[in-house]
Amino acid sequence: MDTLPADQIEALRERIRRAGKRATGSRLAALSCLTLAASPLSHGEVMERLEPQGWDRASIFRVLNDLADAKLLRRIDLGDHLWRFELLADEPHGHAEDEHAHFMCVGCGEVQCLPELSLVLPKSAQVPRSVREDAVQVRVLGRCDTCA
Amino acid sequence: MDTLPADQIEALRERIRRAGKRATGSRLAALSCLTLAASPLSHGEVMERLEPQGWDRASIFRVLNDLADAKLLRRIDLGDHLWRFELLADEPHGHAEDEHAHFMCVGCGEVQCLPELSLVLPKSAQVPRSVREDAVQVRVLGRCDTCA
DNA sequence: TTGTTACTGCATATAAAATGCAATAACGAT
DNA sequence: ATCGTTATTGCATTTTATATGCAGTAACAA
């Protein structure tokens, strides 16, 4: 695996600390790996890169989930029952994930915002209150124009 | 589990045969179960109902997948890494396009169909072609009325 | 009724996702 | 710089879903 320039490593280190976690080797390794990746990676794909360097499967597994909980990573499911992880942009002000719908390409995993999309349903429809009140996350899965 | 009226059982039996398969006990049990269910069920949820009746996990597992391949069931993924199965309407001429959105409660995991829901977006919106063409799966995540 | 073979039931395999726990190392305090 | 606390790791192991091999069974056609 290539390696990240020292200043980028340092930036990751600070991002981890800002999230209230310790900047450990496995966290930096996982984040570096995902920084270098062009697309979301599964735990297995991350391990293909990190196991040769001696990192432990279970630890990296926990790291990926922890960092996803801490909102440094996005954990996505493209419909094939493999969790994939993607580095999120460093948003100092916290990106409000659920105000708008998201489109996810089941081919490449790319996520795109659909701010203009809205839901309509007849008043008579029997749906949970949260749906009526738009207190829901809407995820639209399909293929993007390049993967179509 | 309740039981289906004899005529409905017979209809299922014929549907299975029409698909070129043998109308066996486990297939009828699985289809009955999904007919009685109000929403898509996972393999585990199907087994909660069928194991007490003596049905075998592996056999029902295969039956569900076979029937999904045969287009009697739809296999859906709501993003929580559980396959769920839903009975498709009996469309003699193929084209079982009763595709609809699904709601999943992030609290209890309960699933509900949202057949009346539709997506609207301005003509000007920049979205993938698949979204325009409705060649997409829609997942709505929120809290159900009891978990709210 | 009978023969063929699709299907079942049971045992077992594989893979991903998780967790318990003692040892370790990150980081704030000294 | 060193030390102490405790978050985190590494290793072993578990759980859960998904999947398959195979001998016996039962569905259907003849």
Which nucleotide lies nearest residue A22, CA to C1'? Answer: C26
B113 token code pair? 């169909």
- Summarize the confidence of residues A4-32 as an average pLDDT: 96
Q: How confident is the model at residue A34 (pLDDT cuts 50, 70, 90)?
A: very high
Whether the CB of B85 is less than 7 Å away from nucleic strand D comes out as no
pTM here is: 0.91
Distance from residue A89's CA to nucleotide C5's C1', rounded to whole Å: 58
Is residue A117 classed exposed, middle or buried when 0-12, 13-18 and 19+ CB atoms within 10 A define those classes?
A: buried
Whether the CB of A96 is less than 7 Å away from nucleic strand D comes out as no
Contact status, residue A117 vs residue A101, Cβ threshold 8 Å: yes
Give me the residues paired with residue B138 across strands.
Answer: A140
Distance separating alpha carbons of residues A77 and A42, to the nearest angstrom: 10
pLDDT of B96: 54
The residue among B49, B108, B79, A43 whose CA lies nearest residue B64 is: B49
Distance separating alpha carbons of residues B131 and B55, to the nearest angstrom: 41
B83-87 and B73-77 beta bridge pairing: antiparallel
Which nucleotide lies nearest residue B16, CA to C1'? Answer: D27
pLDDT at B1 over 60: no
pLDDT at A92 over 70: no
Does the beta-carbon distance from A119 to B140 stay under 8 Å?
yes
Distance separating alpha carbons of residues A85 and A76, to the nearest angstrom: 6
Amino acid at A108: C
pLDDT tens, position by position, B46-94: 999 999 999 999 999 999 999 999 999 999 999 999 999 999 998 765 5
pLDDT tens, position by position, B93-107: 555 567 899 999 998
pLDDT of A33: 97
DSSP state of B53: G
Does the beta-carbon distance from A140 to B136 stay under 8 Å?
yes
Is residue B38 classed exposed, middle or buried when 0-12, 13-18 and 19+ CB atoms within 10 A define those classes?
A: exposed
pLDDT at A13 over 80: yes
The residue among B142, B125, B136, B118 whose CA lies nearest residue A119 is: B118
- Summarize the confidence of residues A81-107 as an average pLDDT: 82
Q: How confident is the model at residue B148 (pLDDT cuts 50, 70, 90)?
A: confident
10 Å Cβ neighbour count for A38?
Answer: 6
Give me the residues paired with residue A87 across strands.
Answer: A73
**Kindly report the CA angle at B131 between A112 and B145, in degrees rounded to 5?**
80
